[in-house]
Structure 1
Amino acid sequence: MGDPSQPNYDEPIVPDENPHGYDDPAFLTESDVASSTQSLSSSVLNYQYENGRRYHAFREGEYPIPNDEVEQDRMDLNHHIHRLVVGGDLYRAPIDPSEMRILDLGTGTGIWAIEMADEFPGANVTGTDLSPIQPGLLPSNCRFEVDDFESDWDFSKPFDFIHVRNLAGSVRDWTLLIQRIKDNLNNGGWVEMVDFDGGGIYCDDNTGQKAPNIQDWVRFQQESSRSFGKDLDVAQYHKRWMIEAGFKNVHEEIYKASHLFVTIQVPLNPWPKDRKLKELGRYEQANMMDGLEAYSLALYTRVLGWTPEETRAFLAKVRREIVDRSIHLYTKFYFVYGQKDEGE
């Protein structure tokens, strides 16, 4: 028997019979500016401003997504969506984190690391990011470091579990990154890689024909991220890359019967009839409304040569399609985990 509180992923998503046209756009509120947990040089805190958004200073230009308060709120919402998708879990790998040494790469606001530390007070949790935007009030077993995971790693000892989430569009060399992860795991340690599908937006009926701007947005995202050197369309390759790196017990998390390759359908707005999927769609709509500019503005202006005005005008058209409940679109999340061989 499945969990009755969760959507039934075996069944096709049924559209709401009374979509009520359009939703009002959902914009996230700004939070207080987060303080760093360590003493930082002024150069790290000398954030860069571009087209009205704030970006990291450390390794300037390497990450095309803002770090300002609007984006921090969106990242926290995105964390909530990930937990909803998997029934509230913080991880899917078959581990007992109670006394583990844990690393969270690209920790962002640090919310995942903080919640892991709270839930497992015997664990030791470290989060790394280019931006020191994490809060200052932390569990005693949680710490944050400003670091670039694409530079040489210099940790004092290996980890038992390394968590990698939403790094699509942030990595130039995934093969090298996965090898570094493996080199910094204890024998028998686990890695979990979680990401959205950067390869497309999906539809199981003909309503997707009414969303040409969303389809163009996906195409422009792929084109600009590849030209930037950090492809967004990578989630589908995580399993293969981990196997090629020598990880054992590699799995893509599944949510339907016993299939070996299944991804979760996440509606872009509250169009489904199912109550839980409708709730998930409301959150994902809010996530997309702010995420459009976060993921597009720097890439379009730096790589495609668009002006900020052209970019924002185009994204306004995309937003109008996202909130239209008569368009039944969804995206996919990938959860992939694997283990370093006990004998290495």
Structure 2
Amino acid sequence: MPRAHPGNRPDAAEIGSGGETRPQFSGPSLPPEAIAEHISVDSNYGEGSTDRDDADSAFFDRESSTASLTESIFNYQYENGRRYHAFRAGAYPLPNDEAEQDRMDMQHHIYLLIFGGNLYQAPIPQQIERALDIGCGTGLWAIDFADMHPEASVIATDLSSIQPSWIPPNLRFEIDDAEEDWSYSYKFDYIHIRSMAGSIANWPKLMRQAYDFLKPGGWIELTDFETWAHTDDNTLPETSAYHEFQVKLNEAAIKFGKEMNVAPKLRGFVKDAGFVNVVEDARKVPLSPWPQDPRLKELAMYMNLQMMESIEPYSLALFSRVLKWDKERINTLLDGVRRDLKNLNYHMYSIVHCVYAQKPLES
């Protein structure tokens, strides 16, 4: 059975001077000017409160080395009670089981809340010919994008075959490793990369390949969260479980060879690859519902739920394979992290970075 979309799909509407079509979303949007500044704490929550409210065509017939959907792709690996991909087994540290798919779907919803329902920020033309989504996960973004751009042929790739089979006719999912040499016989108008932190060993190579396979004037867009909690008032103690968690997570990811906290570096990667008209949109996203602003509070409730579901998949493989921790030690730390995520005295937030840029017209 194909996976269902969570909630209603956004309706399309015309916005912007270029007439580009983007989705409109009824949830609270977060304009950059509203969240780039200090976030006010909701004083209605008592000290030590842990109340979380209700937060609980011919184009596709390409000759390439892209893996076909064979039985080997579904010969999943199992470890610490979670299921992992079989193609390029061990290359990606997060699981691909149903629980993780639900988390990824939730994260897609969160991105829509953050960016006011917009699937993308780059000013791509209303009519494009080809688009590529790298690391598509469950495929929700690619499905929505293909629906918005029925004129475009859309390819979405991932190491795991976890995408639905009921999809728009102009969309194709492929099992592929973006870190291998690309072998497309055509170029794209738009390349989208989201939530790939901890998945890429060589970001400069990935950016060079994206540059080479974009048409002149085409756009690239990367979006990701920092895997580091910030506070404006130093309320997260260095002795806290959450602080230990983020330090060890980044330490393990670096040893694994795929840095986790790469979001602050995305702009640099893009510029170094030769892209121009580089724009970065960085926004604060609270990790628990401590803000006073009702829009931020609603977003934070979703984010808190997503964080509760994220800490195990992000840490299990890295902590056990790289740091050589046993399951008991991992679970003890994660129990403390969950308590910290419920503690509204810890005014933690992450920063989401959206970077988009253009390939020069003459290149």
Normalising by structure 1, what TM-score?
A: 0.89
What's 1:247 paired with?
A: 275
Q: Residue 220 of structure 2 aligns to a residue in which SS?
A: strand
Please tell me the root mean square deviation across aligned C-alpha atoms, in Å. Answer: 1.9
Instruction: Determine if contact 1:166/1:194 at 8 Å carries over to the other structure.
Output: yes
Residues in 2 aligned to 1:204 and 1:146: alpha-carbon distance in whole angstroms: 42
Q: Say whether 1:147 aligns with 2:173.
A: no
Residues in 1 aligned to 2:38 and 2:269: alpha-carbon distance in whole angstroms: 30
Residues in 2 aligned to 1:94 and 1:111: alpha-carbon distance in whole angstroms: 21
Residues in 1 aligned to 2:243 and 2:68: alpha-carbon distance in whole angstroms: 44
Q: Say whether 1:135 aligns with 2:164.
A: yes
Deviation at 1:240, TM superposition (A): 1.4
What's 2:328 paired with?
A: 309
Code of the residue aligned with 1:18 in structure 2: it is N
CA 1:78–1:85 in structure 2 vs 1: closer, same or farther (change >3 Å)?
same
CA 1:343–1:206 in structure 2 vs 1: closer, same or farther (change >3 Å)?
closer
What's 1:79 paired with?
A: 108
Q: Say whether 1:16 aligns with 2:37.
A: no
Residues in 2 aligned to 1:182 and 1:252: alpha-carbon distance in whole angstroms: 18
Deviation at 1:39, TM superposition (A): 6.5
Q: Say whether 1:326 aligns with 2:355.
A: no
Deviation at 1:51, TM superposition (A): 0.6
**Structural mapping, 1:1-344, within 5 Å:** 6-7=29-30, 8-9=34-35, 11-19=37-45, 21-23=49-51, 40-198=69-227, 200-209=228-237, 212-253=240-281, 263-344=282-363
Deviation at 1:301, TM superposition (A): 0.1
Code of the residue aligned with 1:56 in structure 2: it is H
Q: 1:305-328 deviations in whole A, cap 9, x for unaligned?
A: 101121111101001000111211
Instruction: Determine if contact 1:248/1:338 at 8 Å carries over to the other structure.
Output: yes
Normalising by structure 2, what TM-score?
A: 0.85
Instruction: Determine if contact 2:29/2:117 at 8 Å carries over to the other structure.
Output: no
Comparing 39-48 with 176-185, greater Cα deviation is found at 39-48
Deviation at 1:207, TM superposition (A): 2.1
Comparing 10-19 with 104-113, greater Cα deviation is found at 10-19
Deviation at 1:241, TM superposition (A): 1.7
CA 1:11–1:340 in structure 2 vs 1: closer, same or farther (change >3 Å)?
closer
Unaligned runs of 5+ in 1: 29-37, 254-262
Residues in 2 aligned to 1:227 and 1:11: alpha-carbon distance in whole angstroms: 34
Code of the residue aligned with 2:77 in structure 1: it is Q
Deviation at 1:136, TM superposition (A): 0.7
Q: Residue 35 of structure 2 aligns to a residue in which SS?
A: coil
The size of the alignment, in residue pairs, is 322
Residues in 1 aligned to 2:36 and 2:88: alpha-carbon distance in whole angstroms: 44
Instruction: Determine if contact 2:55/2:304 at 8 Å carries over to the other structure.
Output: no
Residues in 2 aligned to 1:69 and 1:247: alpha-carbon distance in whole angstroms: 37
Q: 1:118-138 deviations in whole A, cap 9, x for unaligned?
A: 122112211000001000100
Percent identity of the aligned residues?
A: 46
Unaligned runs of 5+ in 2: 1-26, 57-66
Residues in 2 aligned to 1:116 and 1:299: alpha-carbon distance in whole angstroms: 32
